[in-house]
Structure 1
Amino acid sequence: MEINFPKYFKYTIILLGLVLLIWFLQTFKSILVPICFSGLFALLLVPLCERLERLRLPRPLAILLCIIMVIAFLAGLIWLLSSQLISFVQELGTLSDKVNEYIQKVQTFLLNNFGIKPTNGREFISKNLGTLQQTGTSILSGTLSLTTGALSVLTIIPIYIFFMLFYREHFRRFMFKFITRDKRDTLMLTIDNIQKVVESYISGLLIVIVIVAILNMTGLMIMGVPYAVFFGIFASVLTIIPYIGILIGAALPALYTLVQTGSAVQALIVIGIFAFVQFLEGNFITPNITGSKVSINPFAAILALIIGGEIWGAAGMILSIPIIAILKVLFDAYEPLEPFGFLLGDIKSNSDKPDVFSKLSSRVRTILNLKKEKDEQDKAAK
């Protein structure tokens, strides 16, 4: 006997479920965050691991080689950024005097041209800008604490990745236990499609970040801006935040150039370099690499970053974009939730022709409908 509950009761249960989900995510953050990072890395390493296995390498050895490559790459990147960051923080103490001199020049210009009386430059810095040395120290301490927290789970994440890759077929068979035999082929096809799209999107996003970082660093090096590597990589990572990311990424090197050289023209040139790279990324790089497979609209991306930051902090902001991309792919694959996938998608991608994944999803639905009609015909014949 089926019981029909009122709609307000169903919505109340859904709201309570969301509250419990957020509580669960926050309470078990120390367990879930390493698992999510491990799953993300495992998903990215599946193609490489399969290629190594085709070369007749044993699966454990192939997985170990993949993990060693990732660790070596991340270690080199952290070493490069940390060295530049430490040098940048040490230089912040000497920049405070240059900031004071620059403010005095601006005040003198305002006095001579507009009759505005100057105020105490040091008092202005202490009240409005704060002490740059203290700000740099807090940034460094926050970075070190984040690094310490990352090192505490550095040993467990490779173990998770190893077992996720080693038992990947076992996990699929586990999912089959919940599905009847006549629907397992369809489920297998859907899972393969989802995995391919998510892998291509996340790997494409990483490729875009690397290309944008190289372009940023090249432009800053041509301008002769110090710490071009740090500024370039920092801005490239922020490009995952639509529209706002480029502003934040360009503000820091532009302010540094303005204080270091005292030339507003050079600061504007730095901003122009980032704007040009952002133009290339939005119109040529991203469309040609990630294509229209998964396209998240800016509002959904920013909202995901805010929610991820509130739930899991910095780790949540890093994981928010890949997670919302995976959710969109799942929503597009499951017909009752397809409107939510449309809501998360960008206007351009929604108006474009269906991509390969959409065609495969419609093919799966056609197969399901044909099977359903055949079963009904068999029942009618009996």
Structure 2
Amino acid sequence: MAAESDKTPEDRLAAKEIHSDFVSVTKRKTFDRPNDDPDDMPLPTDPRTIYLGGLFFLACLAVLYVAAEIVLPLVLAIVLKLLLQPLVRLLERIRIPRAAGAILSVLLVLVAFGASVSMLAGPAAAWAAKLPEAIPKLRDSLSVLHQPIDAAQHLMQQLGGDGSAETPAVKPSTLVGAVLSGSASATSGLFTTLLILFYLLVSGEIFLRRLVEILPRFKDKRSAVALAADIEKNVSIYLLTISCINALVGVATSGVMWLCGVENPVLWGAVAFMLNFVPILGPMVGIVVFLMASVLSLGVSWWAVLPVALYLGIHIIEGEIFTPMLLARRFTINPVAVILALIFWYWMWGVTGAVLAVPLLAVTKIICDDLRPLRAFGHLLEG
């Protein structure tokens, strides 16, 4: 009470204005940040500052690489939080508490993941079991591809040894143990991701609120609120739009495979959905995978090329018409930057890193566009 009585009327008025800005800023469609003078946030010129910044950046990369098992669930949770945040806010507007909305959102992710696994596990296992027998068939049918198919078969037979060694017999207990170990690791990672996601959704803007409280100047407080809301809004729009586009690509691919008579069309639609999160390289892998599936299902004929041609047409329409139409120019990214990001994040975190590479690059570009000192770097990333 004593602390409250010590506040001047100007302090009370400023606190009310900050609270009002904080409550209302995320509901706006546009965000008017103060026109700060360019000298307010100058680029560092002291060599020591630049060197320390470089060392800090390298240290962060080392932590991301070494602590991948800890950092990866956190990154996944943050991406999912940005994707589901609009849903939680929509539920809040219809009088559903934030905690209940967070629980419903996490359950939605869990149900979608469980339904996908239960629907696709059987067909995927069937194709995996069929692949060793299919390699000789492909080798006999496609004489042009003899050498790469022989190399693939040799690699499968000699996995873990040299070319002259006999293929070791795999004990059932060892195979079951490996499967159970992988399943336990995946389950643990999923549980950790969902737990972090729940608390991120429940906490809402608590981190932003604490940041606003420690900033010294009133202008900085308003700028931080508007900047954070702008970044979150743009990132959510990007992730939601890309996810919807990729889902449409998956549905269209599934329909094409079904019309052409390829087995398990839903599986190939899911594969197309996931591969489309990896631009450039994803569709290239998809062409090879769908060609093999078509040949195994339809035999060696021109008819087997039709599903691949239609998939390529779907990708061209998506990349040249729908994506540029639905995403503003500020969301387009330089193809060279995309390739470098794919290589880097695949090296860091494997396949999951490759899937997250473009969303993380888009988030980086959006943040750079909104922060004055980093706008030059954001311009370099622009396509």
Q: Considering the TM-score relative to the shorter chain, is it more than 0.5?
A: yes
Amino acid at match of 2:119: L
CA offset at residue 289 of structure 1?
2.9
User: Structure 1 residues 257 and 5, CA, compared in 2 at 3 Å: closer, same or farther?
Assistant: closer
What's 2:64 paired with?
Answer: 25
Aligned length: 324
Aligned partners of 1:212 and 1:281 also within 8 Å? yes
Deviates more, 1:269-278 or 1:152-161: 152-161
User: Structure 1 residues 166 and 262, CA, compared in 2 at 3 Å: closer, same or farther?
Assistant: closer
What's 1:235 paired with?
Answer: 272
Q: 1:219 aligns with which of 248, 256, 259?
A: 256
Q: 1:177 aligns with which of 208, 213, 218?
A: 213
How do residues 185-200 of structure 1 correspond to structure 2 at under 5 angstroms?
185-200=222-237
SS of match in other structure, 2:329: coil
User: Structure 1 residues 316 and 210, CA, compared in 2 at 3 Å: closer, same or farther?
Assistant: same
RMSD: 3.0
Aligned counterparts of 1:249 and 1:135: Cα–Cα separation in 2: 26
Amino acid at match of 1:276: G
What's 2:239 paired with?
Answer: 202
Aligned counterparts of 2:191 and 2:79: Cα–Cα separation in 1: 16
CA offset at residue 198 of structure 1?
0.3
Which blocks of at least 5 consecutive residues in structure 2 are unaligned? 1-43, 160-169, 171-175
- The answer to whether 1:65 aligns with 2:104 is yes
User: Structure 1 residues 86 and 337, CA, compared in 2 at 3 Å: closer, same or farther?
Assistant: same
SS of match in other structure, 1:331: helix
Aligned counterparts of 2:280 and 2:65: Cα–Cα separation in 1: 29
What's 1:129 paired with?
Answer: 152
CA offset at residue 133 of structure 1?
7.2
Aligned counterparts of 1:191 and 1:266: Cα–Cα separation in 2: 52
Structure possessing the higher relative contact order (Cα contacts under 8 Å, 6 or more residues apart)? 2
Q: 2:356 aligns with which of 309, 319, 323?
A: 319
Amino acid at match of 1:129: A
- The answer to whether 1:156 aligns with 2:195 is no
Q: Deviations over 1:317-352 (max 9, x none)?
A: 222222111110111011121111011111xxxxxx
Aligned partners of 1:254 and 1:267 also within 8 Å? yes
What's 2:317 paired with?
Answer: 280
- The answer to whether 1:244 aligns with 2:281 is yes
TM-score in terms of structure 2 length: 0.76
Amino acid at match of 2:208: R
What's 2:82 paired with?
Answer: 43
Amino acid at match of 1:19: L
Aligned counterparts of 1:143 and 1:216: Cα–Cα separation in 2: 30
Aligned counterparts of 1:320 and 1:211: Cα–Cα separation in 2: 21
CA offset at residue 5 of structure 1?
8.0
User: Structure 1 residues 260 and 144, CA, compared in 2 at 3 Å: closer, same or farther?
Assistant: farther
Aligned partners of 2:262 and 2:298 also within 8 Å? no
Aligned counterparts of 2:92 and 2:375: Cα–Cα separation in 1: 36
Aligned partners of 1:208 and 1:289 also within 8 Å? no
Q: 2:335 aligns with which of 289, 292, 298?
A: 298
Aligned counterparts of 1:126 and 1:194: Cα–Cα separation in 2: 47
User: Structure 1 residues 100 and 22, CA, compared in 2 at 3 Å: closer, same or farther?
Assistant: closer
CA offset at residue 135 of structure 1?
10
What's 2:201 paired with?
Answer: 165
Aligned counterparts of 2:100 and 2:293: Cα–Cα separation in 1: 47
Aligned partners of 1:235 and 1:248 also within 8 Å? no
TM-score in terms of structure 1 length: 0.76
Which blocks of at least 5 consecutive residues in structure 1 are unaligned? 108-120, 347-382
CA offset at residue 88 of structure 1?
0.6
Deviates more, 1:205-214 or 1:37-46: 37-46
Aligned partners of 2:331 and 2:362 also within 8 Å? yes
Amino acid at match of 1:95: A
Aligned counterparts of 2:324 and 2:188: Cα–Cα separation in 1: 38
CA offset at residue 178 of structure 1?
3.8
How do residues 68-87 of structure 1 correspond to structure 2 at under 5 angstroms?
68-87=107-126
